Amino acid sequence: MEMKRILVTGAANGLGRHMATKFLCRGYYVTLADNDTTSLKLLEQLLSNDHCVFPPGSGRTVQTHALFYDCNINDESSVSSCITSSIEKFSGLDALINNAAIASPWIGGKDDPNTPFDDVPVSHFRSFIETNLIGPYICSRYAAPHLRAAKGCIVNISSTRALQSEANNEGYSASKAGLIGLTQAMAVSFTGSGVRVNAVSPGWIDVRDMDTKYLAQQSEATAIPSLTESDHSQHPAGRVGLPEDITKIVEFLVDDASGFITGQNFIVDGGMTKKMIYRE
């Protein structure tokens, strides 16, 4: 099995952490890029002692297979330096996972679902576009020459909120919808190069056990509250999504077996976007 070289943005927490960890488990060379340096350092410490990720005697260690990099995807020089360092360490790049984003969808800010878009500065909207859309564009732009050389791929992590929305999601929904459009455009622009570009749009994925900094601050006895039965049963699939639901399809898209797939958006939401939601 070819040991691919993968760069994951937003790798310190959430889906990014899960994807990066699974890639390392498979023996891939992974650059974990994030501007949350506290979580990034904590994750490096955790993985260094994780014998499931780096089994004793395997010849694989954090030092040989992982690069933890403080990267701000809004800053071209930061992105350029990150990609250069990744290329220098691993001698190439096979896949870019554009996962970093402003995670809270509310235009008013985290934990503020009720403030309407016309009550907040335009800068709030602009920040979503800069991070969730322009950020992946910058990363793709600087990774492109290396991906062409490797005939690699890009996977953009969008959202079902690009297709459906709750109130006061203008910035998040617009940026994630734009990311699907960017995916299609880049896929066509890479025609003949061997580079594929696809998007994955997760629905509700429970990533609470991937919050590195939060979990480090809790005692071992602190349990993550269980989701309710209605949380699960509203999904046609019968449950809320798990990080591995997204990681598995990203792994498939990175694999050479998906070589005839490009320009597509894969919705992984337990069927929610296909469900009629009018009140009975």
Catalytic residue numbers? 172
User: What's the token pair of residue 85?
Assistant: 């360092």
Q: Are 179 and 130 in contact (CB under 8 A)?
A: no
CA 190 from centroid of its chain's CA atoms: 21
Long-range contacts of 161-166 (CB under 8 A, 24+ apart): 161/105, 162/201, 163/201, 163/267, 163/273, 164/273, 166/105, 166/113
Closest to 267 in 3D by CA, of 205, 196, 194, 191: 205
Q: How far are the Cα atoms of 9, 67, 83, 151 from residue 88, in angstroms, in the given order?
A: 18, 11, 9, 18
Q: Are 194 and 151 in contact (CB under 8 A)?
A: yes
What is the β-pairing status of strands 95-98 and 196-202? unpaired
As a whole number of angstroms, the distance between CA 83 and CA 117 comes to 36
